[in-house]
Structures are given as C-alpha cells and as structure tokens.
C-alpha cells in the first residue's frame, strides 16, 4: 500500500493577520485531508530565498520576500489522496479577483493593490515541489 500524498500549505502573513488560520485548517480538514504537522514562524530572508529560488531575478521577487517576511506565517503538512491537486483547487486561482466563489481565495482574499498579490495561502504545485518545500519548513 502506498503512503498518502503530502503537500506543504502556508497561510501567508495576510491570512494570519486577518485571523484566517482556523478557517484555512477547517477547509483543509473538511475536504477530508489530514493535517499531520503544523508550525507558526516568521520566515527570514534565507528561508524565503530558498523557497522561492525559481523566482530569483524576476521583478516581483524582492516584494514577495518583503511581504512573506512581514509577519508570522503558518506552515502545515497535509496528506491525503491527490492532496496536491485537491488543495490547489480548494485554494482557487492565484489572483483573488479571478478565484471562484467557494475557494479559499475566492471567498477570503482580496486584491490589495500591492506589488505582490496577497492571496492568503500557498500550496505546493507538484510532488517534487512538495518534497522540496516540506524539507525547507520541516527539516
């Protein structure tokens, strides 16, 4: 029997500031996924540079690091059948103005007119990303 798929989910500083951590966890669990590890931290530049290394050199890289280090984040590992794809569907489109109602971003995120989209959550986009990102936050 194969082990369940795992993904990294982050509640970003805007979600933590707005008191939405419980709501995000609730939606993950209500979907049938299991949260197996959870921690709150304030990410430093080194950790965030490692996480977002594929975006280095892009115009939004520095504003992204600034935003993601602007306050505490909550990192969690969720597992379940097709959890990577399932959570990304649950999260909704990256741009909150395009996210469908019923998704985390569609219901809870809003366009703040900032340099970086503040969209409440991050979820790994592939098994490879999930493995790499989980190691960054839960070494």
Q: Is residue 98 part of a domain?
A: no
pLDDT tens, residue order, the chain (139 aa): 668 899 999 999 999 999 999 999 999 999 999 999 999 999 999 999 999 999 999 998 999 999 999 999 999 999 999 999 999 999 999 999 899 999 999 999 987 667 778 899 999 999 999 999 999 999 8
Q: Could you give the number of structural domains in the chain?
A: 1
Active-site position among 73, 122, 124, 133: 122
Q: Is residue 114 part of a domain?
A: no
Give me the pLDDT at residue 112, please: 65
pTM: 0.94
Distance CA 49, CA 36 (A): 25
Q: Is residue 128 part of a domain?
A: yes
Q: Is residue 88 part of a domain?
A: yes
The closest of 87, 129, 117, 92 to 107, measured between CA atoms, is 92
In the residue annotation, 51 being an active-site residue is answered as no
Distance CA 37, CA 17 (A): 21
Give me the pLDDT at residue 110, please: 81
Q: Is residue 107 part of a domain?
A: no
CB count in 10 Å sphere of residue 120: 28
CATH assignment at residue 41:
3.30.70.141
Domain carrying residue 66 = 5-92+122-137
């Amino acid at each position: 029997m194969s082990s369940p798929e795992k993904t990294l989910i982050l509640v970003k500083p805007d979600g933590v500031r707005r008191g939405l951590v419980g709501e995000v966890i609730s939606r993950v669990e209500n979907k049938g996924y299991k949260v197996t590890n959870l921690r709150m931290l304030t990410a430093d530049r080194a950790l965030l540079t490692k996480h977002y290394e594929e975006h280095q050199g892009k115009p939004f890289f520095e504003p992204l690091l600034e935003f993601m280090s602007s306050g505490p984040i909550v990192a969690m590992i969720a597992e379940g059948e097709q959890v990577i794809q399932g959570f990304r569907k649950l999260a909704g489109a990256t741009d909150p103005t395009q996210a469908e109602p019923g998704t985390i971003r569609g219901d809870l995120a809003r366009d703040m007119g900032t340099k970086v989209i503040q969209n409440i959550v991050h979820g790994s986009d592939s098994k490879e990303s999930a493995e790499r990102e989980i190691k960054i936050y839960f070494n």
